[in-house]
Structure 1
Amino acid sequence: MANEFSPQALKGLALAGLIGSAWLLSLGLSYTLPLDQTPGLLIGSLILLRAFLHTGLFIVAHDSMHASLVPGHPGLNRWIGKVYLLVYAGLSYERCSRNHRRHHLAPETFQDPDYQRCTNNNILDWYVHFMGNYLGMRQLLNLSCLWLALIILNGSDLPAQIMHLLLFSVLPLIISSCQLFLVGTWLPHRRGATTRPGVTTRSLALHPALSFAACYNFGYHREHHESPSTPWFQLPQLRNESFT
């Protein structure tokens, strides 16, 4: 039947639910911590965990852009992507989808919005260019409203709530954006990344466990470009098959 969920869809939904639930639980836990009584190591660990889970929100939304999150269910696929991108950074699903389609159609060309078009290969310039394609006034307003709601809902001690926001929402988002840019754009697409004729995208030579930790297998980038419909959790298998 057309409305049945395939094994890939069920696994995609389960993993998306796990990432989203873990993100919410870590958010609630981190905002209830008394910072003056919490060891710095625990605070640092929570920041890194929040950043990793925050990246997971974008990866889920990225799969939804390729209709690989819930194959055969475009409405549900799109709805999850919109929610996860909104929570991630107030991003527009339509804008992200449009830019990402252009990236896949013409990677590393002037038509690729993710590619650094300047003559230098400066990572900071490229990062600013990359972020500018996704963050506009509307997205910043959405993000500000989300953060303001967190402050209001979390209590009356304004200085403490602002510190919680900076540590467990703002900083994880910054780390996540750097993680996505470094592993998913700069390393695979930088000039000189590959010397193979006709190949413009490289994959990072990472063990599957490290690949997952680095960016949910986003470093297996050549495999992703060759098979955009393959979800993030199947990319290690696809990479293994390419070597056999």
Structure 2
Amino acid sequence: MMIYNRRKDFRGIGVAASILVLWGLLLVYLLTSYSVRFTSPLTYVFLLLQTHLYTGLFITAHDAMHGVAAPGRPKLNKAIGTVTALLFAYNWYPRLLPRHHQHHRHVATSQDPDYHHGSFWPWYFSFLKQYITWWQLLLMAITFNVLKLYFPVENVVLFWMLPAVLATFQLFYFGTYRPHRGEHPEDNPHKSGTQPKNHLWAFISCYFFGYHYEHHDKPFLPWWQLYKTK
């Protein structure tokens, strides 16, 4: 058992490090070496890829909230969560942690910070108000003004700022709105839906979090093992 646990620990750290490194390397390349051409499909491919990696940063921070980014190593696990949350638009991990566990304890109720009884757009703006603070916006504004001194402004907007916005939308739509909207039967203890089995789409859309009932049922599984429960 100890060997198995250590192996899981190593793999979790490796997955987290891979997302972090890929996000950083691609961002550096796109800011320093890529010439934006709005007529080129490659520009939009890079935009979507960077958005996906931004989403991966937050999913990694989410895994840390469940103690599975580096299981058995609480200090490293917290460090991974703190760094990846900060890189995703200056989110503060100690603020996110209790809110996320409150979501799991009181899912789809008035005590759930992720839930809003209403249509899509009011729910989305309610979600943003729960997780975006004035100091995040201030830090983003300062960072943007610093970055544009050194890199082309269109690169900063397309590959640093816009992917964070799109990733927020991606996380909300696939990880909150679709799974928790509507009424759920009484025999659904997690008040969560799930998408049909399609591992490729589940990964591309939101790192398997379309399998959302499965996540609430087994929150101890990291994202990269979640598909096994489907």
Q: 1:197 is matched with which residue?
A: 187
Q: 1:165 is matched with which residue?
A: 156
- The one-letter code of the counterpart of 2:136 is Q
Q: 2:19 is matched with which residue?
A: 19
Distance 1:206 1:43 in 2: 31
Cα deviation, residue 130, structure 1:
0.4
Q: 1:122 is matched with which residue?
A: 119
Distance 1:7 1:211 in 2: 25
- The one-letter code of the counterpart of 1:184 is G
Distance 1:82 1:163 in 2: 29
Distance 1:230 1:149 in 2: 39
**Per-residue Cα deviation, 1:20-59 (whole angstroms, up to 9, x for no partner):** 11111111121122225x7520111100000000000000
1:147 paired with 2:125, answer: no
Q: 1:242 is matched with which residue?
A: none
Q: How does 1:1-244 map to 2 (within 5 A)?
A: 6-31=6-31, 32-36=33-37, 39-117=39-117, 121-154=118-151, 161-192=152-183, 194-195=184-185, 197-199=187-189, 200-239=191-230
Instruction: State the identity %.
Output: 34
Distance 1:76 1:131 in 2: 28
**Per-residue Cα deviation, 1:85-138 (whole angstroms, up to 9, x for no partner):** 101110110111111011000000010000004xxx311110100011111112
- The one-letter code of the counterpart of 2:200 is A
Distance 1:148 1:64 in 2: 31
What is the TM-score normalised by the length of structure 1? Answer: 0.87
Cα deviation, residue 183, structure 1:
0.6
SS in 1 for 2:166: helix
Cα deviation, residue 146, structure 1:
3.4
Cα deviation, residue 5, structure 1:
6.7
Distance 1:216 1:127 in 2: 20
- The one-letter code of the counterpart of 2:124 is Y
SS in 2 for 1:109: coil
Cα deviation, residue 181, structure 1:
0.4
Distance 2:92 2:140 in 1: 11
CA 1:5/1:39 → structure 2, altered by over 3 Å: closer, same or farther?
farther
Distance 1:5 1:151 in 2: 45
- The one-letter code of the counterpart of 1:45 is V
What is the TM-score normalised by the length of structure 2? Answer: 0.92
Distance 2:203 2:73 in 1: 26
Unaligned runs of at least 5 residues, structure 1: 155-160, 240-244
Unaligned runs of at least 5 residues, structure 2: none
Structure 1 residue ranges (4+ consecutive) displaced by more than 4 angstroms after TM superposition: none
Cα deviation, residue 198, structure 1:
3.8
Count of residues in Structure 1 that have an aligned counterpart in Structure 2 = 226
Cα deviation, residue 149, structure 1:
3.9
Q: 1:158 is matched with which residue?
A: none
